[in-house]
């Protein structure tokens, strides 16, 4: 399955935005704080945040909820009709975002892994790819373990 990781959040809107993520395994770390399941992440206007461990959950396992002054958006990763994985979204105002293709579904040894920036503005919510490549699931686990060991941060 493809993995979509939020590594950067930028709020250029005039209002605060609240994020809630309920993935059972990956819990976002922002400014040294690890957020629990559905713990509100409040992003102030003008905020520019770096994140780690912030996955957009797979559709059968959770969701990312983004509440803005325009409404609530719900995002997850899952397959589309052609069998490739996409970042899917639903909006409370029925202006659903176009699915963003992420790549094929991979297998138990590798999966496409994309780093994303989450842009929040007065006109909506946008995901921007900032890094991509094929990443071994085992390689990813080793990378994060070494990063934690050497830097002390998750």
Q: What token pair was written down for 79?
A: 């397959």
What pLDDT sits at residue 68? 94
> Could you tell me the CA-to-CA distances from 88 to 54, 58, 63, 78 in Å, in that order?
16, 10, 10, 7
Q: What is the distance between the alpha carbons of residues 142 and 152, in angstroms, rounded to a whole number?
A: 15
Q: What is the pLDDT of residue 105?
A: 75
Among the listed ranges 31-35, 55-59, 61-65, 140-144, which one has the minimum average pLDDT value? 140-144
Q: Are 41 and 20 in contact (CB under 8 A)?
A: yes
Supply the mean pLDDT for the chain.
Answer: 85
Over residues 8-38, the pLDDT tens digits come to 999 999 999 999 999 999 999 999 999 999 9
* CB-CB contact of 7 with 116 (8 Å): yes
CA distance 4 to 55: 6
DSSP 3-state assignment of 143? helix
Q: Dump the DSSP string for 113-136.
A: EEEEEEEEETTEEEEEEEEEEEEE
Q: What is the pLDDT of residue 134?
A: 42
Give Cα 2 distance to the centre of its chain: 12
pLDDT tier, 138 (very low <50, low <70, confident <90, very high otherwise): very low
pLDDT in tens, 90-128: 888 777 788 888 877 776 666 778 899 999 999 889 999
pLDDT at residue 145, rounded to an integer: 62
User: Average pLDDT, stretch 127-152?
Assistant: 62
Question: What's the whole-number mean pLDDT along residues 87-91?
Answer: 90
Listed residue (74, 49, 50) closest to 62, CA to CA: 74
């Amino acid at each position: 399955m493809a993995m979509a990781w939020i590594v950067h959040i930028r709020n250029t809107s005039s209002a605060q935005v609240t994020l809630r993520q309920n993935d059972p395994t990956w819990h976002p770390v922002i400014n040294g704080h690890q957020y629990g399941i559905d713990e509100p992440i409040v992003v102030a206007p003008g905020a520019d945040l770096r994140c780690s461990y912030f996955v957009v959950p797979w559709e059968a396992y959770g969701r990312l909820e983004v509440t803005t002054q325009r409404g609530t958006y719900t995002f997850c990763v899952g397959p589309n009709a052609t069998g490739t994985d996409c970042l899917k979204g639903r909006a409370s105002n029925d202006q659903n975002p176009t699915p963003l293709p992420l790549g094929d579904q991979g297998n138990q040894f590798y999966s496409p892994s994309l780093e994303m920036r989450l842009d929040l503005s007065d006109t909506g919510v946008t995901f921007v790819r900032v890094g991509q490549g094929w990443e071994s699931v085992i390689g990813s686990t080793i990378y994060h373990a070494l990063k934690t060991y050497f830097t002390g941060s998750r």
